[in-house]
Structure 1
Amino acid sequence: MKARPIPFSAPMVRALLDGRKSQTRRVVKPQPDQSLDYVRMMFDWNGKAQAEFETPPGYHTPLMYHPLCPYGKPGDLLWVKEAWRAKHWWDDHPPREITDQSPIDYKPYEDGGEWGRARHARFMLRRMSRMTLEITTVRVERLEDISEADAKAEGFSPGWMGDALPETPIGGGFTISSPGTYASSAGHFQAYWCELHGYDAWEASPWVWVLEFKVHQQNVDELLKARAA
């Protein structure tokens, strides 16, 4: 069993905490060549998860591509990185210098008295993480192939588009895109994806890793220690 970091935005952290999120999608990098078709998921002799892509039978130049999933395989753990802050007297110190005894606040964008500046999720250390995800399934699919049920598992619900979500291109069968419009769970997921990755990100419909997981609201090392006891 391996443990790897994975960053989440503030809305997705709230969905994890609320028990609304049990899936996440991450772009396969680099993307397979357009001539390649997806064949299956594979697990090598080390138990690593990888996807198999190859050219269709009879293609003039046989090609294969086996991207390795950087997030692991079923049974592996992902420790959640999120925005955070320490006490203000640590503001001029890098995260590695903040002592284990110093408390961490997970609401970095609220007024907070002694709390210091907001720090990006990328700077969160493993010992500061408060949530661990246990991978149950790994697969790949095209981004726009997401189902309504999977969009709900991503943490989205049907409802009116919020003013914070931008207008997004119409694509993938979803025509609900602007604030003030009622959207399906998949429509909300589409808008949020475009907010994060750009207005043309949905139309590109890249291959994505689909990770399904169980959420443990516990630090990864505390979880491993408890399991070893």
Structure 2
Amino acid sequence: MTAPLNLFRERPILFSGPMVRAILDGRKTQTRRVLKPQPPVGVSRLIGPEIYRPVAVDRHGDECEGEPIFGVYDDDGEFGTAVPFQPGDRLWVREAAHYGPNRVAYCADNERLGPSERVPGFGPAKPSIHMPRWASRITLEVTAVRVERLQDMLEVDAIDEGALTIDLPAVGPATQAGKPPLGASPLVRFRHLWDEINGKRPGCAWANNPWVIAVTFKRHTP
């Protein structure tokens, strides 16, 4: 009997320690990534402030030979750029970890461990970008993808991002448990978290309001 074909795509995705813990606890079911390239701003083909404004995400069969491109379109139906995530994709999570003989110790399981600290019997921690597929313990299944301005997200989206319970590292003005104040609103908390991760990247800060890919996912269980 012929084995069934795997129709899903599999690709890696990076998460920080607090985000990994939120996923493991079931508190995070969304993530936002900056759309690349950003829609250029200028004089449009006809009349308008932007050359294209991505408003829909779908497959486009005219841009390549073979499998249609999954990408974003403007309100005239013009193709803009490809999107690296689509419903049905499997995303294997890369996270910081220590590696020992046939063993892995995940930094997210002990938030006191820094990248330069060691675990007995293991080597120094390696950044998430270096995690091989075999060491990944979390696989996510993409259930929905949309493209929007960062500041268009709602409070419920911030909750699904895990912002209600995730804290920044213990830096800045001290509060309970040594955490800096993020604010009571999930959206305010998410804004602080976003800028902590993306604020130094040109055009990616909350104030820049970049176009982002909003990915909804669930834990995949074989």
Same fold (TM over 0.5): yes
CA distance in 2 between counterparts of 1:135 and 1:43 reads: 16
State TM-score, norm by structure 1.
0.72
Aligned counterpart, 2:32 = 25
CA distance in 2 between counterparts of 1:181 and 1:12 reads: 16
Residue 215 of structure 1 and its aligned partner are, at CA, apart by 1.1
Alpha carbons of structure 1 residues 2 and 152: separation in structure 2 relative to 1, 3 Å: same
Gap runs ≥5 in structure 2: 1-7, 42-49, 62-66, 108-112, 174-178
In the alignment, is residue 196 of structure 1 matched against residue 191 of structure 2?
no
Partner of 1:136: helix, strand, or coil? strand
Aligned counterpart, 2:143 = 136
Residues 158 and 184 in structure 1, CA contact (< 8 A), matched pair in contact too: no
CA distance in 2 between counterparts of 1:130 and 1:105 reads: 11
Aligned partner letter, 2:56:
R
Q: Deviations over 1:137-195 (max 9, x none)?
A: 01100001110000000011179x7674669xxxxxxxxxx944633111111001101
Aligned counterpart, 2:106 = 106
Residues 7 and 81 in structure 1, CA contact (< 8 A), matched pair in contact too: yes
Residues 158 and 182 in structure 1, CA contact (< 8 A), matched pair in contact too: no
Alpha carbons of structure 1 residues 48 and 78: separation in structure 2 relative to 1, 3 Å: farther
CA distance in 1 between counterparts of 2:74 and 2:172 reads: 34
> Root-mean-square deviation (CA), in Å?
2.7
In the alignment, is residue 49 of structure 1 matched against residue 56 of structure 2?
no
CA distance in 2 between counterparts of 1:191 and 1:165 reads: 13
Residue 211 of structure 1 and its aligned partner are, at CA, apart by 0.5
Which has the larger displacement, 12-21 or 28-37?
28-37
Aligned partner letter, 1:194:
D
Q: 2:213 aligns with which of 186, 209, 212?
A: 209
Residue 69 of structure 1 and its aligned partner are, at CA, apart by 1.0
State TM-score, norm by structure 2.
0.74
Q: Quick check: which one's helix share is greater?
A: 1
Gap runs ≥5 in structure 1: 57-62, 88-100, 168-177, 224-229
Q: Which runs of 4+ in 1 moved over 3 A?
A: 108-111, 161-167, 178-182
In the alignment, is residue 70 of structure 1 matched against residue 71 of structure 2?
no
Residues 165 and 192 in structure 1, CA contact (< 8 A), matched pair in contact too: no
